[in-house]
Amino acid sequence: MLPLDDLLVLDFSTLLPGPLASLFLSEAGARVVKVERPGGEDMRGFPPRFGETAAPFAVLNRGKQSVEIDLKAPDALERLAPLIAQADILIEQFRPGVMERLGFGYEALKGLNPRLIYCSISGYGQDGPRAGEAGHDINYQAIGGLLGQSLQRGAPPPLPPPLVADIAGGTMPAVLNILLALLQRGRSGQGCHLDIAMADAMPTFAWYGLAQGQATGSFPEGGEGLLTGASPRYGLYATADGWFLAVGALEPKFWQAFCDGIGLDETLRDDRRRPEASRAAIAAIIAGESAAHWRARLEPLDCCCTVVRTLEEAISDPQVTARGLLDAQAEEPGGRRLVSTPLPLAPVFRSQVAGMRRVAASGADTKTVLEER
C-alpha cells in the first residue's frame, strides 16, 4: 500500500503550484480528480504540443482524472456535491473570495463534508492588504526581498530560472500542510481550511540575511551576503569558452583544495583581507581555460566546484539515472510517452502511474467518476 491510498483529492487549481501539489499526492497513492472549466484549463494550450496534448500539461497531470464543469452554472454545486461529500482533500488556486462567490467556499463545503481538508493557494493569502493583488513567481520573489539579495544596484540583473515562489512557496507548503492536516484529522475527525500564500515563504529563503540584519543592525544590500556575492569562495566564474564554473568552496578544506587546483597565489588565499583582489585573480585564472579543462581538473578534487550543466546535460548525468528521477512517464491519448516532472519523493512512498484520463462533465459522467472510486 502507498501512504495515501483510498484518499480522494479534488483539484480545482490550474497552471503550476496546485497541479504540482496534487501530483505529489497522486504519486503517493491518492486518487486525483481535476475539476476543469469547459474546454479544459489554460495549460492544456501551452506550447510545445506533445501529440494530442500540451507537454507542460502532460508532465504535471499524469495519473489524474479530469471532469469539466462550468462552476458558474446554477447546478454546479449540486452536480459536484457527491464528489465533494466523498473527498478528503480539495485544492483551489483562485484569488481570495472567488470560490465563495461561486458557492464553493470552505464554510459551504464544510457543511457537506466536515472532514474535508480545504487547501487554498494564492499569491498573498486570504487576508491582508495585498490579498487581492495579481502576481506571478517573479513578483512574489521581488516583493519578498528574495530577488534583492543578489541584485546589485546599477548592474545588469540575471533572471532567476527557478520558480521559487510557485514551487517552494506554493506547492511544497501546500503538500506539507495537507499532510499535517491529515494527521490532525486522524485525531480530531475534523477537516480544516489551509491558507497557503506563496509570498509568505520568500523570507524563509532569506534566512541568512535576516539573521545578519538583526544581529548587526545592518541588512545586506544586493551582492553583499556570503552566499549572494560577497565572498570569492561562492559564485560563478566565466571560462575561456564562454561558459561558467560554479564555486562553492566555503569551508577551509574545500577552499584550500580549490586554490591548489587553480594555482592561486599564496598572498591571495586569505580572502578576508582583500576579497575583491582574490576574486579578480580567480576570475582571470578561470577565464584562461575552457569549461572542459576545469571539469577535468577541479571536479575530481571534491572541492565543491562544478561546471554548470545545461538541462540536456543534467538529465543525462549518471546520478539522475541511478536515482530513478526520470522513471515516471506521462502518456498522451495517442499513446506517445514522455518523461514526467521528477518529484523528490522517497521511492517507498511513490507509484509510477502514467497517463491522464479525461471525463466529460455531464451528470452521468460525473456519476461514473463516483462509481469508479
Neighbours of 61 (CB within 10 A): 29
Q: Which residues pair with 331 in a beta bridge?
A: 337
Q: Which among 135, 164, 170, 136 is positioned nearest to 149, based on CA atoms?
A: 164
Q: Which 8-state DSSP code applies to residue 95?
A: P
Whether 193 sits among the annotated catalytic residues: the reply is no
Q: Tell me whether residue 348 is exposed, middle or buried, using C-beta atoms within 10 angstroms of its C-beta: 0 to 12, 13 to 18, 19 or more.
A: exposed
Residue 234 identity: Y
Residue recorded with cell 583544495: 257
Q: Which 8-state DSSP code applies to residue 241?
A: T
The pairing of beta strand 31-36 with beta strand 8-11: parallel
Catalytic residue (choose from 11, 88, 137, 166): 166
Q: Which residues contact 325 (CB under 8 A, 6 or more apart)?
A: 342
Calculate the alpha carbon distances from 145 to 214, 231, 233 in Å. 15, 20, 23
Q: Which residues contact 16 (CB under 8 A, 6 or more apart)?
A: 60, 163, 166, 167, 170, 171
Whether 293 sits among the annotated catalytic residues: the reply is no
Residues annotated as part of the active site: 136, 166
